[in-house]
Amino acid sequence: MSEHIGAASDTLTIEGLSGGYDRFDVIHDIAFRVGAGEAVALLGPNGAGKTTVLRAIMGLLPRRRGRIEIEGSDIAGLPTRRIARGLVGLVPEGRRLFTGQSVEDNLRLGGMHVRRDTARTQELLQSVFDLFPVVERYRAREATALSGGEQQMVAIGRMMMSDPALMLLDEPSLGLAPLAIQDLTKALQRLRGQNRSILLVEQRVDMALEVCDRVYVLSEGRIVDEGRAADIGAEGRALIDAYLG
């Protein structure tokens, strides 16, 4: 695994971030980056603090110390509703689709801040349908009636509708069948090919290495290793698996 890798232009920069719940810190002095158009994985065992990092980025967790920048601007003091309006989009663990709503309604709810711009809304909808043809085919169906893999496509599409500078995905493969994971991996590779900036929290090392340019390993709330996905061979995979337990 390599030393810290710098870049001239970053979509996300986190420096010295610490935070948690009540009086207790869960993450300690976190520092990492996601370059413009780069896909980065944040790996670690359950309880390592991965979701806490995502919550901090989204403004759902008070920051005790440190900076969180999107395209050079500190967002740590912004309310979540402002962060979600084109700065950062989140696909949460478990998808959390709106029940009783159609696929298309779920998508449109993701783009509420552009709803008055009909042309832009249609453009964003088409980008989702181009990535996930099955979502267009089932656009009139109730979203929660779809299969797990199809629901995950809707959840990613809903996030895409906010047209965020940074896309966060929290354990997107969780609970999916192997074929659905293959489809998801291909979709994320296509997103990466569109020059989107992605931060992927994932337990599946194989999937993360197929999708991402670089990986960070989080253990007990601290970054303990990092490296380029293309440079991680069998020894590196074994090391990551050891951290994952």
Tell me the C-alpha distance between 204 and 175, whole Å.
12
d(CA 7, CA 5): 7
Q: Tell me, yes or no, whether 35 and 53 share the same domain.
A: yes
Q: What is the pLDDT, as a whole number, of residue 217?
A: 93
pLDDT digits (tens, 9 = 90+) for 119-153: 888 899 999 999 999 999 999 999 888 898 999 99
Q: What is the pLDDT of residue 245?
A: 57
DSSP 74-93: E-TTS-HHHHTTTTEEEE-T
- State pLDDT tens for residues 177-201: 999 999 999 999 999 988 899 999 9
Are residue 20 and residue 105 in the same domain, yes or no?
no
Closest among 188, 144, 147 to 168, alpha carbons compared? 188
Predicted pLDDT of residue 120: 85
Q: Which residue has the higher pLDDT, 38 or 110?
A: 38
State what percent of residues in the chain have pLDDT above 90: 56
Range of the domain at 62: 1-87+164-245
Number of domains in the chain: 2
Confidence band for 111, pLDDT divided at 50, 70 and 90: confident
Give yes or no: residues 174 and 158 share one domain: no
